Amino acid sequence: MDKKLNFTIRKANNSEDDLIARHFYQLWLDNNVSPDSIRADWQRDTIDFIVKARQNLSFQAFVATVEDRVIGSVSCQLFAGLYPTPFKSDFRHYGYIWNVYVEADYRRQGIATKLTKKAIAYLYTLNCTHAILHASPHGKRVYESLGFVPKNEMILELTAGN
């Protein structure tokens, strides 16, 4: 019988922005995005995004550790929106969860679930009315188990063939 993994979840330090960026990069690779499709400046751009989101959108990352080694992370922040919002914040004040990542050797042990719960709890402290995310095929099961439901986002792929 497998021994239960002893891991902890804590707030990420600003000095760990590089690690959070590397997890974001690896998340795409793990979802079958070719490295050729990722810009050369991905790391700098991701870190710049995190710094700005920390300043303007209450960004916070959390990390999962085993014996002081980071083996997973999640990022969350206020959702900036895709368009102006006419709504009062007590009606619609979205938080956004992104970059839920766990190293391959540590998956399927509840770490992604605990990381996501930590992000949800943080967004709750920001008085968010909803937590939204975009699930990978691998993560969909985790998020549905936490109560996330598919909504009406629709996507049309705009390629030369359309």
Q: Are 75 and 61 in contact (CB under 8 A)?
A: yes
pLDDT digits (tens, 9 = 90+) for 14-64: 999 999 999 999 999 999 999 999 999 999 999 999 999 999 999 999 999
Task: Identify any residues that bridge with 76 across adjacent strands, giving them in sequence order.
Answer: 60, 97
How deeply is 62 buried, as exposed, middle or buried, from its count of CB atoms within 10 A (0-12, 13-18, 19+)? buried
Q: Which structural domains are found in the chain, ordered by start?
A: 8-145 (3.40.630.30)
Q: Are 124 and 101 in contact (CB under 8 A)?
A: no
In this predicted structure, what is the pLDDT of residue 160?
A: 66
Q: What's this model's pTM, rounded to 2 decimal places?
A: 0.90
pLDDT digits (tens, 9 = 90+) for 62-104: 999 999 999 999 999 999 888 888 888 888 899 999 999 999 9
CA distance 86 to 89: 9
Q: Are 57 and 77 in contact (CB under 8 A)?
A: yes
Phi and psi at 65, nearest 5°, equal -130, 150
- Both tokens assigned to 58: 């209450």
pLDDT digits (tens, 9 = 90+) for 92-148: 899 999 999 999 999 999 999 999 999 999 999 999 999 999 998 888 989 999 999
Task: Identify any residues that bridge with 132 across adjacent strands, giving them in sequence order.
Answer: 96
In this predicted structure, what is the pLDDT of residue 10?
A: 97
CA distance 157 to 162: 8
CA distance 108 to 64: 14
CA distance 46 to 39: 11
How deeply is 147 buried, as exposed, middle or buried, from its count of CB atoms within 10 A (0-12, 13-18, 19+)? exposed
Judging by DSSP bridges, how do beta strands 69-78 and 94-102 pair with one another?
A: antiparallel
